[in-house]
């Protein structure tokens, strides 16, 4: 028999026990989250100038995808003028996806909006999977808020979508981090191969963003080895070595073209000098999605990127400029809330 103390403590213990959501409730919330992400992010680009094509990377990719694809693997084009070096690096995935959409009969502007919506969805989905991997699938608050805040930034709309070939590394960075977090402790080659595949899908539209995207990967590996001590140094070195081999092998087609191009070397030497463009902004500006150097350029025709001027000059235009560290704060708040039950956070 239970003692009186045990009988009296029973109701109090039951009342103080945390509410555990049922698996069916969590599954329903997940389905709703994915439905919201798919519908919202795929449809969002269609609200911007419907019926009109907006310049994105190369006009030939959109208006003559077949011709453009056939010329992607050549290093020299005989026209226009006396010829030009070919180092666009947009064959995969942009060229193929746009070619499929145009081949399916979609008008140029519809194909463009579908491509943009797909990029937004992939970016947010990658962040959802990454947060779930780091925190566990406790609620939908953390992954949903982190995915939307990472994706819907001034950088995305001011630079990313108008130049999607160079935007792909930002889109696929969460996926790259997910692969690293998931496979770093494993001995198999599947992890490094996936790292190479993700880098391959980033394309070669610029080159520099692809390199920058590996900075957080290296930082996480250093954290896992030196701080958490969750991965032996030998395993991390093995993972990094094989990943580097896969990355170089799968991206050799555009790395060779860019490294041997006099046009690229001239740009780095005389126009986009790193020691100039890298100090244009500040760390806080970069954190809130406004750190791209081109956002601050002006000439006699006006701002180089007019779509972001309101974000930079008007604190009331967006929550991003009004609080320098709002995005990471919101992401961190969402992740912190993942351990709490829904009734405890009614504003979410």
DSSP codes, 52-105: -----S-HHHHH-HHHHHHTTT-SEE--STT-EE-----IIIIIHHHHHHHHTT
pLDDT at 315: 59
The DSSP 8-state label assigned to residue 289 in this structure reads: T
* C-alpha torsion sign, points 335, 336, 338, 341: negative
What CA–CA distance (Å, rounded) separates 138 from 148? 18
Beta strand segments in the chain, E: 76-77, 84-85, 298-299, 302-303
Q: At what angle do helices 190-201 and 164-183 cross, to 10 degrees?
A: 170
**How many CA atoms does the CB half-sphere of 124 hold within 13 Å?**
27
Would you state the structure tokens that stand for residue 53, as one six-digit string?
């094509």
Range of the domain at 330: 37-61+93-292+311-343
Is pLDDT of 317 > 60?
Answer: no
SS3 167: helix
Would you state the structure tokens that stand for residue 340, as one six-digit string?
């709490």
Average pLDDT in the chain: 79
73 occurs within a structural domain: no
3 occurs within a structural domain: no
197 occurs within a structural domain: yes
Mean pLDDT, range 109-130, rounded to an integer: 96
The DSSP 8-state label assigned to residue 185 in this structure reads: T
pLDDT at 209: 86
Q: Domain tally for the chain?
A: 1
Burial (CB < 10 A; 0-12, 13-18, 19+), residue 203, is buried
68 occurs within a structural domain: no
Phi, psi of 81 (to 5 degrees): 55, -125
Is pLDDT of 338 > 80?
Answer: no
238 occurs within a structural domain: yes
pLDDT at 60: 87
pLDDT at 326: 42
Q: Which of 5-19, 179-193, 330-344 has the highest mean pLDDT?
A: 179-193
84 occurs within a structural domain: no
**pLDDT tier, 98 (very low <50, low <70, confident <90, very high otherwise):** very high
Is pLDDT of 82 > 80?
Answer: no
86 occurs within a structural domain: no
Query: How far does Cα 168 stand from its chain's mean position?
Result: 7
Beta strand segments in 79-185, E: 84-85
CB contact at 8 A, 229 and 223: no
299 occurs within a structural domain: no
pLDDT at 348: 26
Burial 13-47 (b: 16+ CB within 10 A, else e): eeeeeeeeeeeeeeeebbeebeeebeeebbebbee
What CA–CA distance (Å, rounded) separates 120 from 45? 9
Q: Which of 88-97, 130-139, 186-195, 339-348 has the highest mean pLDDT?
A: 186-195
84 has which bridge partners? Answer: 77
CB contact at 8 A, 204 and 258: yes
What CA–CA distance (Å, rounded) separates 151 from 145? 10
């Amino acid at each position: 028999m239970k003692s009186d103390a045990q009988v009296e403590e029973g109701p109090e213990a039951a009342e103080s026990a945390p509410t555990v959501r049922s698996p069916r409730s969590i599954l329903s919330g997940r389905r709703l989250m994915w439905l919201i992400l798919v519908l919202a992010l795929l449809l969002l680009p269609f609200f911007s100038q419907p019926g009109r094509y907006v310049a994105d990377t190369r006009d030939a990719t959109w208006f003559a995808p077949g011709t453009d694809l056939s010329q992607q693997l050549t290093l020299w084009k005989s026209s226009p003028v006396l010829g030009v070096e070919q180092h666009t690096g947009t064959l995969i995935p942009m060229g193929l996806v746009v070619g499929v959409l145009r081949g399916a009969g979609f008008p140029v502007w519809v194909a463009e909006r579908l491509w943009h919506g797909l990029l937004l969805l992939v970016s947010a989905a990658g962040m959802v999977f990454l947060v779930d991997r780091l925190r566990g699938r406790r609620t939908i608050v953390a992954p949903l808020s982190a995915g939307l805040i990472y994706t819907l930034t001034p950088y995305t709309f001011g630079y990313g979508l108008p130049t999607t070939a160079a935007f792909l590394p930002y889109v696929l960075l969460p996926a790259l981090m997910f692969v690293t977090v998931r496979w770093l402790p494993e001995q198999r080659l599947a992890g490094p191969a996936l790292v190479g595949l993700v880098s391959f899908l980033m394309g070669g539209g610029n080159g520099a963003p692809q390199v920058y995207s590996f900075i957080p990967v290296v930082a996480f590996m250093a954290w896992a080895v030196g701080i958490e001590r969750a991965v032996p140094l030998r395993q991390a070195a093995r993972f990094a070595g094989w990943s580097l081999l896969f990355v170089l092998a799968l991206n050799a087609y555009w790395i060779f073209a860019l490294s041997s191009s006099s046009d690229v070397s001239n740009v780095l030497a005389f126009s986009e000098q790193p020691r100039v463009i890298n100090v244009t902004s500040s760390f806080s500006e970069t954190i809130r999605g406004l750190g791209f150097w081109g956002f601050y350029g002006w000439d006699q025709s006006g701002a180089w990127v007019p779509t972001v001027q309101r974000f930079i000059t008007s604190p009331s235009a967006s929550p991003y400029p009004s609080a320098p560290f709002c995005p990471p704060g919101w992401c961190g708040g969402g992740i912190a809330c993942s351990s709490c039950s829904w009734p405890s956070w009614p504003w979410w």
